[in-house]
Structures are given as structure tokens and as C-alpha cells.
């Protein structure tokens, strides 16, 4: 194989079984840069020292995700032995494992339902959680939008939940794998779908959307200050230059930000546009609104919910829903102020920097 060629990405769950020995992928230079070449990170359990070293530098291991604000979430959710929990965004399973540990402590018959729309990562998270010793009586994972949480619980015959968590947005596994199209650093198809078997890739959405709708998506999804100008410029540019690849769009955006824009400002623009596209193609706000509306019907009396958000649009929806729930006495507690990651966590895991945590408690039975 030539140095520039890539081998298929190793399975990040491979550490849970005994994997066959594979030759390490060849890569140019002294350090693997491409996702599929980071074989030590992708098989972290076989290379624990390297994994520790990478994490100590504030990096997230390729193919992995570091759960955010774990102590704060455990404190507000207070999962107790024997309780029923739902992780509405299973991701890598880090939060789910912590919740499972609490609800099954001392052999208690607690259980957790984990939902995720991502058909690539969800089976890997499930395998990881099974390997940690949680069988089907304790842990059930379902490929579903969290908007369908109430229906999934009903189908399982589970009578509501004491604890519900949603850690919104995108996982590090999704961001880091260029073939998913979320990366602004590495080239890949401009896709950005959490479930690539549903809906349309961002490239098709961008090719077909009208200028007005694009402007609104840039405002709603990213508070883009020059949304109107940018929507107009994209609509003009796409006539001669369809945006099919992540780096094609990213470099066009950097150019559009102008010769005097700082690198940070240009990167900020690229990040905001990708975020707005992601929110649009995954229809994230309507899923979140449905989930928030149905949440009280799922929470048992005194049940607790915690939501981690990563931008103002998400946070606004959660804040409004909890405020309305307080007003109508569906919730008896929902603090107005958000919790933020500690300075130490932000340093150790820069991806936590924009996180905001809100929580609420379902009122007791009348």
C-alpha cells in the first residue's frame, strides 16, 4: 500500500473483544494526522499509556467522546439505586455508564434506556456498555430520535422514568470522522447527518434551499451576524461551484470573510455555518421542541431531567420549556441560572467550553 492510501478505519469497539492483530496503517511523517491512521487512539484499550498522554494534552481520542460535566449532572439528577433512567442521546455511552452505575448500585434493579439516531455509533456504544457488564435487563438501546422517547418507553412497557438526560448536538466520533462530513479541518463529503440513512446530505440541502430560507437557517442555527449577505453570496456562488466537499465550503467561507479577517474570525464563520447546516439537515430544533413538550409525560412524579446544550438556540428552547413548566406547575424546580463546566474541565477538555447545563424536577403527584 502507498503511504497516501488509507486502510479501512479500525472498529473503535475492538478493544472490547480480542481483536486480531493487524499491521499498523502506514502514514506519511512521524505522527498520524488522518482519522483512519490514528490506530492507537482508535484502539485505546490496547495503548493505554498513549491514550492517557493524548488526553492529558486536552485532546479527545479519535473514535471516542469524553462525557461533559459528569459530577454536576450526577448531582442534579441524583440517580438512586433501583430507578429508571433514560439517556436520550447515548453517543459514546459515557454518561449512560455513569447513570447505570448509580441506578444498579449494590445490585439494585435499576435500568437505563439509551436512544440515539446514529446507526453507525449506536451499536458500538451498546457493545461497550454490554462489555461493562450491563445485560438486557439493565440496559436497552434503541435507534430512535429522542422525539420518540415516550413512544419507545410505551413500546417497552416501561412506566416512565425517574431520571432523563439529553446531551445535545454532535459527538466527538461524528466530528472527528471526516467521512461523516462534520469536520471543518479534514476533507470529506458535505453530509452532516447524524443518521446518514435519512434525509438529505448538507450538500444537497445547500444546493436546493432558497436564499430566504438559507438566511433564516443561518440566523436560527448560528446567530450569524451577516446572514443576509452570506445567504446571497452562497446562492450566487453555488451556480458555478456546487459545494460538495467540506473543505471546498470551508475555504470558500474563509475567502468570503475577506483578506482582513483574522484567522479566528474566519474559523468562527466556518464553524457557525457548519453548525447552522447541521441543525437544518437534522431538523434539530423540531426534534428538541417535541422532546421538551413530551418530557413531562415521561417523567414520574419527582423525576429529574438535565439537558446539556452547546449554543444559544438550543438553550433558549430548553429555558423557555422549563420556565413554562414552572408556571404551569408541571415542574416544581427549574433554576433560572445555568451551570457551566469548571475551569479545570474546560482546560482538560476544550470541547466542553460552550456547554450549559439546565435541569428541572417534575412536581410530586397531587
Ligand X SMILES: C[S@@+](CC[C@H](N)C(=O)[O-])C[C@H]1O[C@@H](n2cnc3c(N)ncnc32)[C@H](O)[C@@H]1O
Out of 37, 40, 92, 134, name the contact with ligand X by CB under 6 A: 92
* Residues 98 and 70: beta-carbon distance below 8 Å: yes
Task: List, in order, residues 6 or more apart from 238 with CB less than 8 Å away.
Answer: 206, 207
Residue 222 or 253: the one with the smaller Cβ distance to ligand X is 222
Cell of 96: 449512560
Please, is 3 exposed, middle or buried when counting C-beta atoms within 10 Å of its C-beta (0-12, 13-18, 19+)?
exposed
- Our finding on whether 60 is near ligand X (CB under 6 A) is no
Q: Please give the residues from 158 up to 187 whose contact with ligand X meets the rule CB under 6 A.
A: 167, 169, 171
- Our finding on whether 94 is near ligand X (CB under 6 A) is yes
- Which contiguous run of DSSP H or E holds residue 149? helix 149-156
DSSP structure class, residue 273 = H
Q: Please give the residues from 323 up to 352 whose contact with ligand X meets the rule CB under 6 A.
A: none
Residue 60 or 84: the one with the smaller Cβ distance to ligand X is 60
Q: Please give the residues from 184 up to 203 whose contact with ligand X meets the rule CB under 6 A.
A: 194
Binding residues with ligand X: total (CB under 6 A): 20
Out of 95, 272, 278, 358, name the contact with ligand X by CB under 6 A: 95
- Which contiguous run of DSSP H or E holds residue 140? strand 139-143
Number of neighbours of residue 146 by Cβ within 10 angstroms: 25
Nearest distance from C-beta of residue 125 to ligand X, angstroms? 7
How far, in Å, CA of 226 to CA of 362, rounded?
Answer: 40
Residue 89 or 183: the one with the smaller Cβ distance to ligand X is 89
Applying CB under 6 A, the span of 90-98, 199-207, 243-251, 330-338 interacting with ligand X comes to 90-98
Residues facing residue 4 across a β-bridge: none
N- to C-terminal Cα separation, the chain? 69
Please, is 290 exposed, middle or buried when counting C-beta atoms within 10 Å of its C-beta (0-12, 13-18, 19+)?
middle
Task: List, in order, residues 6 or more apart from 205 with CB less than 8 Å away.
Answer: 277, 280, 281
Applying CB under 6 A, the span of 110-118, 129-137, 183-191, 214-222 interacting with ligand X comes to 110-118
Cell of 362: 417534575
The C-alpha cell 467561507 sits at 253
- Our finding on whether 134 is near ligand X (CB under 6 A) is no
Residues facing residue 142 across a β-bridge: 115
Residue 71 or 109: the one with the smaller Cβ distance to ligand X is 71
Report which residue's Cβ sits closest to ligand X: 91
Phi, psi of 324 (to 5 degrees): -65, -40
Nearest distance from C-beta of residue 92 to ligand X, angstroms? 3
How far, in Å, CA of 63 to CA of 41, rounded?
Answer: 7
The alpha carbon torsion through 176, 194, 273, 182 (nearest 10 deg) reads: 20
Residue 127 or 253: the one with the smaller Cβ distance to ligand X is 127
Applying CB under 6 A, the span of 34-42, 84-92, 197-205, 317-325 interacting with ligand X comes to 84-92
Out of 67, 79, 114, 303, name the contact with ligand X by CB under 6 A: 67
Nearest distance from C-beta of residue 320 to ligand X, angstroms? 18
Residue 231 or 295: the one with the smaller Cβ distance to ligand X is 295
Q: Mask 111-130, x = binds ligand X (CB under 6 A)?
A: ----xxxx--x---------
Nearest distance from C-beta of residue 278 to ligand X, angstroms? 10
Out of 287, 309, 349, 352, name the contact with ligand X by CB under 6 A: 287
The C-alpha cell 473503535 sits at 12
Out of 60, 84, 145, 246, name the contact with ligand X by CB under 6 A: 145
- The contact set with ligand X (CB under 6 A) reads 65, 67, 89, 91-95, 115-118, 121, 145-146, 167, 169, 171, 194, 287
Amino acid at each position: 500500500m502507498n503511504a497516501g492510501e488509507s486502510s479501512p478505519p479500525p472498529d473503535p469497539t475492538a478493544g472490547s473483544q480480542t481483536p486480531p492483530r493487524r499491521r499498523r496503517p502506514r502514514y506519511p511523517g512521524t505522527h498520524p494526522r488522518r482519522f483512519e491512521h490514528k490506530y492507537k487512539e482508535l484502539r485505546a484499550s490496547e495503548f493505554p499509556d498513549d491514550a492517557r498522554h493524548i488526553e492529558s494534552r486536552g485532546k479527545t481520542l479519535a473514535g471516542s467522546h469524553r462525557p461533559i460535566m459528569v459530577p454536576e449532572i450526577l448531582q442534579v439528577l441524583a440517580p438512586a439505586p433501583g430507578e429508571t433512567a433514560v439517556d436520550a442521546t447515548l453517543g459514546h455511552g459515557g454518561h449512560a455508564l455513569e447513570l447505570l452505575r448509580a441506578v444498579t448500585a449494590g445490585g439494585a434493579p435499576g435500568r437505563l434506556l439509551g436512544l440515539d439516531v446514529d446507526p453507525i455509533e449506536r451499536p458500538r456504544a451498546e457493545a461497550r456498555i454490554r462489555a461493562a457488564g450491563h445485560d438486557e435487563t439493565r440496559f436497552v438501546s434503541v435507534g430512535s430520535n429522542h422525539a420518540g422517547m415516550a413512544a419507545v418507553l410505551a413500546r417497552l412497557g416501561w412506566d416512565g422514568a425517574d431520571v432523563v438526560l439529553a446531551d445535545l448536538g454532535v459527538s466527538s466520533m461524528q466530528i472527528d470522522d471526516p467521512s461523516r462530513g462534520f469536520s471543518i479541518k479534514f476533507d470529506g463529503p458535505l453530509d452532516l447527518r447524524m443518521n446518514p440513512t435519512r434525509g438529505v446530505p448538507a450538500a444537497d440541502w445547500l444546493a436546493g434551499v432558497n436564499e430566504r430560507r438559507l438566511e433564516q437557517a443561518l440566523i436560527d442555527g448560528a446567530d450569524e451576524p451577516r446572514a443576509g449577505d452570506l445567504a446571497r453570496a452562497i446562492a450566487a456562488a453555488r451556480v458555478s461551484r456546487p459545494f460538495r466537499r467540506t473543505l471546498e465550503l470551508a475555504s470558500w467561507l474563509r475567502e468570503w470573510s475577506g483578506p482582513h479577517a483574522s484567522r479566528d474570525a474566519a474559523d468562527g464563520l466556518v464553524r457557525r455555518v457548519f453548525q447552522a447546516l447541521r441543525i437544518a439537515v437534522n431538523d434539530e430544533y423540531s426534534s428538541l421542541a417535541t422532546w421538551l413538550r413530551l418530557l413531562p409525560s415521561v417523567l414520574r412524579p419527582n423525576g429529574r431531567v438535565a439537558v446539556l446544550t452547546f449554543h444559544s438556540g438550543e438553550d433558549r428552547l430548553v429555558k423557555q420549556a422549563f420556565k413554562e413548566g414552572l408556571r404551569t406547575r408541571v415542574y416544581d424546580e427549574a433554576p433560572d441560572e445555568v451551570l457551566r463546566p469548571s475551569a479545570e474541565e474546560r482546560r482538560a477538555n476544550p470541547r466542553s467550553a460552550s456547554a450549559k447545563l439546565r435541569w428541572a424536577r417534575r412536581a410530586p403527584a397531587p
